[in-house]
Structure 1
Amino acid sequence: MIFDLGPALLFCPGDRPDRFAKALERADAVILDLEDAVAPASKPAARAALAEHPLDPARVLVRVNPPSTVDFAADLAALAATPYRRVMVAKADATLPSVPGFEVIALCETPAGVLDARDLARRPEVIALMWGAEDLIASLGGTSSRDRDGGYRDVARHARAMVLLAAGAAGIAAIDAVHLAIDDLAGLRSEAEDAVASGFAATACIHPSHVAVIRDAYRPSAEEVAAARRLLDAAGTGGAVFPHEGRMIDGPVLRHAESVLRRAGSKP
């Protein structure tokens, strides 16, 4: 699967155009948010700001309001006056209407959205799936997506896995959810390392300080790159299954090594 935006995607409120350029400077791509980050009374101004403060459209996503709201159509109409053609649709599910002219990141953050992730991933306009923990738990009537130790509750982990599997089955990218604890950089790093090891293409974030942590987690270390290169070099002289540095190696393990080199920007 190809995802050309890089691993660290930074949300920026759509009604704060003073932050647009700075957010894009700090991250691999910016998600200009017209949904949760913008109060209802400020949404018209946020839509206007998209056209009045242009950024490089190749590195911009715009999170639009859920299709069930009147704001959804208004958001798309406003985007028609901009060069932005990648939208993240909040609370997407199988009822998502056609959005001609746009590439879609479907944000699966309701019970219906998570259960419909497989169908959403198969739609031709959908280029990636993302999942969201907080809206999911709220829609279930819960009070927290995390336990006292800071880890996700079982239902959130299940939803995360379902969205990742749905994206993988369709050959598109999966984006991991934001880490809301701004100062918990250790927890963020642990989750980002798990995300890349599991197969996510990117992680979204809500604070600039999270960008470097995410990038570092997704970037293989020099030791990992060297080990992957040794393994692939050894594969040229081994059989279909062969021992290497204390491990038995077969096809899937070779593909793991190839993934490491791709993330490092090196050809397998």
Structure 2
Amino acid sequence: MAPEFGTPTDLVLRSLLFAPGNRAEVLLKLPRSAPSAAVIDLEDAVPPDRKAEARTVTHEVAPALIGDVRLFVRVSATHTDHFATDVTDGLPPGLTGVVVPKLESIAAVDAASAALDAAGHPDLPIVAGLETVAGVVDARTVTTHPRVQWCYFGAEDYVADLGGVRTAANHEVATARAQVAQAARLGGIQAIDMVVIDFGDDERFQREATEARHLGFSGKLCIHPAQVPLAPGPCSGRLPMNSRGPLR
């Protein structure tokens, strides 16, 4: 039996599980670990020469997934050559929302929103990726946009943009991580914490999940099914539910 899904604004994202859009055999396994939601990735996980294939695969597998898991698609960033085609050709019916990476300003969200409207997706909410220096510094302008219903902090791209060095201790992302959580609270939306690239390091994932919960994040990005059950549980304080109503 298909799960009873609430409206997007009722959805608490404890675990957001990503898989490459060109890997049909992997995508079809997404519901097995029962994540809060799954993401078909058309961005970082897909080589440039496989983008068109990934869009086709997305349409092929989506009908089999949508009845079993809340499904999102991550498109390419708005400033890239792939964004427009991802929006027009890579978003099948029945999605819960769309993940737009590397958003840095209200103008970028406006551009993404206009592209979604023009492609026939006026009611599709956005998960905003805050993963550049500009995106983190101006995070509040993104999180308060009415089209944005969730956001996430992307530590790997943020540190690369900063010109820093990524470490397991996370000192280099401590300030940015807190800024994203604060901006999400001010915007009345949920924030999802950064990925742990080493999916075999359960100790690190659990440590970061605890930190994320303490900072006010609702959940964690996941890149392997084994990470899903390690994602943050409910906070002892206020549940980080979205305070906005549905899109109008």
**Same fold (TM > 0.5):** yes
Tell me which of 24, 30, 49 is aligned to 2:31. 24
Where do 1:1-268 residues align within 5 Å?
Answer: 4-26=11-33, 27-54=35-62, 55-56=65-66, 59-84=70-95, 86-94=97-105, 95-96=107-108, 97-99=111-113, 100=117, 101=122, 102-142=124-164, 144-146=165-167, 150-154=168-172, 156-214=173-231, 217-219=232-234, 256=237, 259=239
CA displacement 1:89-110 (0-9 Å, x = unmatched): 1111114114232211110111
Give the letter aligned to residue 62 of structure 1. Answer: V
CA displacement 1:114-162 (0-9 Å, x = unmatched): 11210001111000111111111111223x321xxx21023x1111111
Extract unaligned runs of 5+ from structure 1: 221-227, 229-255, 263-268
Mapped partners of 2:239, 2:11: distance in 1: 15
Query: Relative to 1, partners in 2 of residues 1:190 and 1:80: Cα closer, same or farther, differing over 3 Å?
Result: closer
Extract unaligned runs of 5+ from structure 2: 1-8, 242-248
Are the counterparts in 1 of residues 136 and 180 from structure 2 also a CA contact under 8 Å? Answer: yes
- Percent identity over the alignment is 33
Are the counterparts in 2 of residues 109 and 133 from structure 1 also a CA contact under 8 Å? Answer: yes
Partner of 2:6: none
For the aligned residue pairs, the C-alpha RMSD in angstroms reads 2.2
Total equivalences in the alignment: 219
Cα displacement (A) at 1:28: 2.3
Give the letter aligned to residue 19 of structure 1. Answer: V
3-state SS in 2 of match to 1:70: coil
The two structures have a TM-score, normalised by structure 2, of 0.81
Mapped partners of 1:68, 1:195: distance in 2: 29
Give the letter aligned to residue 183 of structure 1. Answer: G
Query: Relative to 1, partners in 2 of residues 1:82 and 1:127: Cα closer, same or farther, differing over 3 Å?
Result: same
The two structures have a TM-score, normalised by structure 1, of 0.76
Larger Rg: 1
